[in-house]
Amino acid sequence: MIKKVFIIAGESSGDYLAAKLMESMRRICLDPIEFFGIGGPCMKKVGLKELFSIDELSIIGIFEVLGKIFRLKRLIDKTVAAISIYNPNIIITIDSSGFTHRIAKKIKKQSQASPPIIHYVAPPVWAWRGWRAKSMHKFIDKLLVLLPFEPELFRKHGLDTVFVGHPIATDVDFEKPSELLLENFKKAQGLAAENRSIVLLPGSRQSELDKHLPPLEEFANLMAANYGAVKFIIPTTESMKKILEVSVCHWRQKPLVITDKALKVMAYYTSDLAVAASGTVTLELARIGIPSIIIYKTSLVTYAIVKFLIRIKHVCLINILAQQNIMPELLQWDCTGKNIFHQAISILENPSQIAEQKKKFAGIMAQISADPDKAAAEVLKT
């Protein structure tokens, strides 16, 4: 008998997690599984039948959501209607709680006899809006979390919560390629031994590119002026490639824009430094061990509200797990090209700081590591 699964991911990091979950579910389930829902290229590659693209949900920040509230409501209603017609055995929602939780609430309101709803990736109640943990048991049947300290935050409010670890910690795609492949990559990109190479990761949403590309351009110009032939590489998603290429075509130090995951991993391993927007990508950088600087800017309204409500010292997940500033953070007003440049020089000219970063990265990966099939097993036994 075919098991029907409706699965929703609202952004690129969720697309990655969902694809890994889908692969594991197919691997360990005795019955054939059909996946229908909302996702991106990773999910489609492993067999998702798509209701609409993840790109429709490219909204971030409080102020930005307010400007698109009616479109968001239409997408929620469309999704709820599709779930009712599809009549799945299981509903899986991944991250993007502003979208996925509204769907779960509507499904439960329609019928308490709805299929089990499993949410993968907890909202960061330890950072802000902690009240959300108290009510999630009303519309979520099981919560799968990535961080080892999260289960107790939700279990005390009656929600079945399981720590499953993060797939990045065990993903073989992030293992170091052979020296031959790395050498061939460097030759293809014109990376001479004496050249520095820097990976730029401005984010996967238009709003993030708008905020982050100007300081990154200034940083690239400063690096080129002080270090000569510096190569810049921007890994991105296929849907954002053309937008990025147009955005950086006027840069004096024009970066290479790539979308292939294997090329991205080789870019990581052959680069001296990464400058990244805060997000899941910081786990990729820590897994590989590349020295990194974290940046983030958002609208003034969003920043003011979050600054008022947030309860933690750091925004980067690596720093949160380490409870210290391993990856330097340059946020909002501090996110300037000059500041990124000064932090970059501090790291690149300090080998002991690089070695210390890499040592701590390994410890953090051990914290979030788990059996890659554990999340799938928890879903299937619900």
115 pLDDT exceeds 90? Answer: yes
Kindly report the average pLDDT of the chain as a whole number: 89
Residues of the chain above pLDDT 90, percent: 64
95 pLDDT exceeds 50? Answer: yes
19 pLDDT exceeds 90? Answer: yes
Q: How many CB atoms lie within 10 A of CB 85?
A: 7
pLDDT tens digits, one per residue of 214-263? 999 999 999 999 987 889 999 998 888 999 999 999 999 889 999 999 99
Q: How many CB atoms lie within 10 A of CB 32?
A: 9
Distance CA 281, CA 272 (A): 16
Q: How confident is the model at residue 62 (pLDDT cuts 50, 70, 90)?
A: very low
- The arithmetic mean of pLDDT across residues 149-166, rounded, is 94
The residue behind tokens 């670890």 is 165
Q: How confident is the model at residue 78 (pLDDT cuts 50, 70, 90)?
A: very high
pLDDT tens digits, one per residue of 27-38? 999 899 999 999
Query: Does 3.40.50.2000 match the CATH number of domain 172-368?
Result: yes
Sign of the CA dihedral with 207 first, then 98, 142, and 42 last: negative
Fold for the domain defined by 3-170+369-380? Rossmann fold (3.40.50)
Domain ranges of the chain: 3-170+369-380, 172-368
- The arithmetic mean of pLDDT across residues 93-108, rounded, is 91
- The arithmetic mean of pLDDT across residues 150-160, rounded, is 93
Phi, psi of 88 (to 5 degrees): -75, 165
374 pLDDT exceeds 70? Answer: yes
pLDDT of residue 63: 47
Distance CA 353, CA 175 (A): 23
Alpha-carbon distance values, 304 to 67, 192, 196, 300, 314 (Å):
17, 44, 37, 6, 16
- Using an 8 Å Cβ cutoff, are 87 and 107 in contact? no
58 pLDDT exceeds 80? Answer: no
The separation between CA 96 and the C-alpha centre of its own chain, rounded to angstroms, equals: 11
pLDDT of residue 353: 86
pLDDT tens digits, one per residue of 261-316? 999 999 999 999 999 998 889 999 999 999 999 999 987 776 666 665 566 677 88
pLDDT of residue 47: 95
pLDDT tens digits, one per residue of 203-222? 988 889 999 999 999 999 99
Q: How many CB atoms lie within 10 A of CB 70?
A: 8
| Domain 3-170+369-380 identical in fold to domain 172-368 | yes
pLDDT of residue 160: 96
Phi, psi of 67 (to 5 degrees): -75, -10
The residue that leads in pLDDT, 238 or 178, is 178
Distance CA 259, CA 41 (A): 11
